[in-house]
A = this chain, B = another copy of it.
Protein backbone atom coordinates (compact mmCIF):
# COMPACT_ATOMS: atom_id res chain seq x y z
CA UNK A 1 0.00 0.00 0.00
CA UNK A 2 2.86 2.32 0.89
CA UNK A 3 4.35 1.92 -2.61
CA UNK A 4 1.00 2.66 -4.25
CA UNK A 5 0.64 6.02 -2.49
CA UNK A 6 4.23 7.06 -3.20
CA UNK A 7 3.24 7.88 -6.79
CA UNK A 8 1.37 10.92 -5.43
CA UNK A 9 4.26 12.30 -3.35
CA UNK A 10 6.71 14.72 -4.92
CA UNK A 11 10.38 14.67 -3.98
CA UNK A 12 11.79 18.21 -3.72
CA UNK A 13 15.57 18.30 -3.43
CA UNK A 14 17.39 20.66 -1.07
CA UNK A 15 14.29 21.82 0.84
CA UNK A 16 14.19 23.24 3.45
CA UNK A 17 17.99 23.09 3.23
CA UNK A 18 20.74 21.58 1.08
CA UNK A 19 21.01 17.83 1.19
CA UNK A 20 17.43 17.19 2.33
CA UNK A 21 14.88 15.57 -0.01
CA UNK A 22 11.53 16.96 1.08
CA UNK A 23 8.44 14.76 0.75
CA UNK A 24 5.84 17.12 -0.73
CA UNK A 25 2.24 16.04 -0.08
CA UNK A 26 0.60 18.92 -1.98
CA UNK A 27 0.64 16.82 -5.19
CA UNK A 28 -1.41 14.20 -3.37
CA UNK A 29 -3.83 16.75 -1.90
CA UNK A 30 -4.58 18.52 -5.17
CA UNK A 31 -5.58 15.23 -6.83
CA UNK A 32 -9.20 14.44 -5.86
CA UNK A 33 -8.76 10.70 -6.39
CA UNK A 34 -5.57 10.53 -4.35
CA UNK A 35 -7.11 12.67 -1.62
CA UNK A 36 -10.09 10.33 -1.30
CA UNK A 37 -8.00 7.15 -1.41
CA UNK A 38 -5.65 8.54 1.24
CA UNK A 39 -8.48 9.66 3.49
CA UNK A 40 -10.17 6.27 3.20
CA UNK A 41 -6.96 4.42 4.05
CA UNK A 42 -6.35 6.59 7.14
CA UNK A 43 -9.97 6.07 8.19
CA UNK A 44 -9.52 2.31 7.76
CA UNK A 45 -6.58 2.49 10.21
CA UNK A 46 -8.96 3.78 12.87
CA UNK A 47 -11.47 0.95 12.38
CA UNK A 48 -12.34 -0.78 15.64
CA UNK A 49 -11.51 2.27 17.74
CA UNK A 50 -14.14 4.45 19.29
CA UNK A 51 -12.88 8.02 18.81
CA UNK A 52 -14.30 11.12 20.54
CA UNK A 53 -11.75 13.64 19.32
CA UNK A 54 -9.24 13.84 16.48
CA UNK A 55 -6.35 16.14 17.36
CA UNK A 56 -4.33 17.52 14.45
CA UNK A 57 -0.93 19.20 14.73
CA UNK A 58 -0.52 22.60 13.04
CA UNK A 59 -0.60 23.02 10.22
CA UNK A 60 -0.44 20.09 7.82
CA UNK A 61 -1.91 17.79 10.48
CA UNK A 62 -5.11 19.85 10.27
CA UNK A 63 -5.79 18.56 6.77
CA UNK A 64 -6.39 14.83 7.17
CA UNK A 65 -7.07 15.41 10.87
CA UNK A 66 -10.28 17.13 9.83
CA UNK A 67 -11.03 14.45 7.27
CA UNK A 68 -10.75 11.83 10.02
CA UNK A 69 -12.86 13.83 12.48
CA UNK A 70 -15.68 13.98 9.95
CA UNK A 71 -15.49 10.30 9.01
CA UNK A 72 -15.29 9.14 12.63
CA UNK A 73 -18.08 11.46 13.88
CA UNK A 74 -15.58 13.00 16.26
CA UNK A 75 -14.74 16.57 17.23
CA UNK A 76 -11.57 18.21 15.97
CA UNK A 77 -8.95 19.79 18.22
CA UNK A 78 -6.10 21.87 16.78
CA UNK A 79 -2.70 21.57 18.50
CA UNK A 80 -0.99 24.81 17.64
CA UNK A 81 2.22 26.78 17.62
CA UNK A 82 2.76 29.10 20.63
CA UNK A 83 0.59 32.18 20.99
CA UNK A 84 -2.06 31.12 18.47
CA UNK A 85 -4.70 29.73 20.83
CA UNK A 86 -6.76 32.45 22.52
CA UNK A 87 -7.86 30.69 25.72
CA UNK A 88 -5.99 28.96 28.62
CA UNK A 89 -3.63 26.38 27.16
CA UNK A 90 -1.28 23.58 28.13
CA UNK A 91 2.18 23.94 26.63
CA UNK A 92 4.90 21.37 25.81
CA UNK A 93 8.41 21.98 24.51
CA UNK A 94 10.52 19.43 22.65
CA UNK A 95 14.04 19.22 21.30
CA UNK A 96 14.97 19.84 17.69
CA UNK A 97 18.29 19.18 15.96
CA UNK A 98 19.23 22.75 16.91
CA UNK A 99 17.26 24.38 19.72
CA UNK A 100 13.70 23.54 20.70
CA UNK A 101 10.07 24.13 19.74
CA UNK A 102 6.76 24.38 21.58
CA UNK A 103 3.17 23.35 20.90
CA UNK A 104 -0.02 24.22 22.76
CA UNK A 105 -3.54 22.92 23.27
CA UNK A 106 -6.53 24.51 24.99
CA UNK A 107 -6.96 23.18 28.52
CA UNK A 108 -10.67 22.56 27.91
CA UNK A 109 -10.25 21.08 24.42
CA UNK A 110 -10.64 17.51 25.61
CA UNK A 111 -12.96 16.16 28.30
CA UNK A 112 -11.52 13.74 30.88
CA UNK A 113 -11.49 10.19 29.57
CA UNK A 114 -11.97 11.24 25.93
CA UNK A 115 -10.58 8.78 23.38
CA UNK A 116 -8.29 10.75 21.11
CA UNK A 117 -6.81 9.95 17.72
CA UNK A 118 -3.73 12.10 17.12
CA UNK A 119 -2.86 12.88 13.49
CA UNK A 120 0.06 14.54 11.76
CA UNK A 121 1.35 14.42 8.22
CA UNK A 122 4.90 13.26 9.00
CA UNK A 123 6.62 11.08 11.59
CA UNK A 124 10.30 12.02 11.61
CA UNK A 125 12.14 11.86 14.96
CA UNK A 126 8.83 11.76 16.88
CA UNK A 127 9.51 14.78 19.07
CA UNK A 128 6.40 16.71 18.03
CA UNK A 129 4.07 13.74 18.38
CA UNK A 130 5.54 12.87 21.79
CA UNK A 131 4.88 16.43 22.99
CA UNK A 132 1.34 16.29 21.56
CA UNK A 133 0.63 13.05 23.41
CA UNK A 134 1.75 14.73 26.65
CA UNK A 135 -0.66 17.61 26.00
CA UNK A 136 -3.56 15.23 25.43
CA UNK A 137 -2.76 13.16 28.52
CA UNK A 138 -2.30 16.31 30.63
CA UNK A 139 -5.86 17.24 29.69
CA UNK A 140 -7.09 13.80 30.77
CA UNK A 141 -7.50 12.30 27.29
CA UNK A 142 -6.49 8.80 26.21
CA UNK A 143 -4.53 8.51 22.95
CA UNK A 144 -5.97 5.47 21.17
CA UNK A 145 -3.94 5.84 17.96
CA UNK A 146 -1.37 8.12 16.37
CA UNK A 147 -1.62 8.20 12.59
CA UNK A 148 0.68 9.72 10.01
CA UNK A 149 0.54 10.16 6.28
CA UNK A 150 4.30 9.55 5.99
CA UNK A 151 6.84 7.88 8.27
CA UNK A 152 10.60 8.21 7.79
CA UNK A 153 11.50 4.76 9.09
CA UNK A 154 15.25 5.44 9.18
CA UNK A 155 14.76 8.16 11.85
CA UNK A 156 13.13 5.61 14.16
CA UNK A 157 10.58 8.06 15.56
CA UNK A 158 8.37 5.09 16.49
CA UNK A 159 10.76 4.31 19.34
CA UNK A 160 9.78 7.56 21.11
CA UNK A 161 6.09 6.68 20.82
CA UNK A 162 6.38 3.01 21.67
CA UNK A 163 3.60 2.91 24.25
CA UNK A 164 1.07 3.84 21.58
CA UNK A 165 -0.46 2.38 18.46
CA UNK A 166 1.27 4.02 15.50
CA UNK A 167 -0.08 3.79 11.95
CA UNK A 168 1.60 5.33 8.91
CA UNK A 169 0.37 5.12 5.34
CA UNK A 170 3.61 5.72 3.45
CA UNK A 171 7.03 4.54 4.60
CA UNK A 172 10.43 5.77 3.44
Contact = CB atoms under 8 A, between A and B. Distances in A.
Contacts of A58: 59
Contact of A30 (B30, B75, B80, B83): B75
Interface string A63-93: 1101101100111111010010111000000
Chain A interface secondary structure, helix, strand, loop or mixed?
mixed
A87 B23 CA distance: 11
B76 A35 contact: yes
Copies of this chain: 2
A49 interface: no
Contacts of A85: 26
B67 A30 contact: no
Nearest to A75: B30
A47 to B, nearest CB: 18
Given A29-B69, A30-B77, 6 more contacts: A16-B86, A22-B86, A30-B53, A30-B110, A32-B75, A70-B70
